[in-house]
Structure 1
């Protein structure tokens, strides 16, 4: 293209999806939700060793359910990421006591890694230039 013509940018498939995903802590939310879901699955495992009695049984279902909710809300509202990250880290640790050793350790680790990623995530600082020209002050005379 030596004539000075520029080729039009090629639209990549999934470009909108990629921009949306990168504008939020998607991987962190996915890991947290998967950790909570894995804990819920292990609670329904047909193992005779597992026993849920009283308030401990309610917490065994409540902790993973809130983790799944935190993962979904983290993706939906990234502005609240610090709260959801801290809640996920706390619930991931509590799951060790309430949800069959944190879903046999796998769900707990997924929730902890996801919470750490969510806490460390920062929004993209490179924003496109505003479409309206900025109002400049008139130069001082003299």
Structure 2
């Protein structure tokens, strides 16, 4: 067992999430799932069945798969996100207008978030920590250092 103290499950998940484009992959996968669910709708609800039916199921399935690949293989996020945008836009024609626009928007937004994610970026400091650091800096500064005559 390593010498470091045990981390809680929440803290371990936050560390895992910080090392990958989590929200981008999640939104892309949710967009694919939403489009797949609208394909199962009754014929009264379905607006456009798609090109011979197969593409209507293939594109959202690939979107779901790409979202999971972005989460578990972030090194290839650029290829996955570009492919995800193209598949999301393709669902406009094949899958009930992109899952009644909701799945299409989720997929495009998630792909854009994954494309723009930078792995070497400094982790964001929460507002609470920034306030604490500012208070500590003000308390550590000498009394007359902040005023000029």
Tell me which interval the TM-score lies in, with the shorter structure as reference length: 0.7 to 0.9
How do 1:1-142 residues align onto structure 2 when only pairs under 5 Å count?
A: 14-48=10-44, 50=46, 52=49, 55-125=51-121
What is the deviation of 1:17?
Answer: 1.0
After superposition, the Cα gap between the structure-2 partners of 1:18 and 1:49, relative to the gap in structure 1 and judged at 3 Å, is: closer
Query: Within 1, Cα distance between the matches of 2:52 and 2:26?
Result: 26
Query: Within 1, Cα distance between the matches of 2:62 and 2:84?
Result: 8
What is the deviation of 1:16?
Answer: 1.4
Aligned residues of 1:39 and 1:102 also touching (Cα < 8 A): yes
TM-score by length of structure 1 reads 0.75
Aligned residues of 2:20 and 2:71 also touching (Cα < 8 A): yes
Aligned residues of 2:49 and 2:95 also touching (Cα < 8 A): no
What is the deviation of 1:14?
Answer: 1.8
What is the deviation of 1:13?
Answer: 6.1
Unaligned runs of 5+ in 2: 123-149
Which aligned runs of 4 or more in structure 1 are off by greater than 2 angstroms?
A: 47-53
Query: Within 2, Cα distance between the matches of 1:56 and 1:87?
Result: 22
Higher share in helix: 2
Let me know the Cα RMSD of the aligned residues.
2.1
What is the deviation of 1:56?
Answer: 3.3
SS at structure 2 position matched to 1:48: coil
SS at structure 1 position matched to 2:53: helix
Question: Alignment length, in residue pairs?
Answer: 117
SS at structure 2 position matched to 1:64: helix
TM-score by length of structure 2 reads 0.72
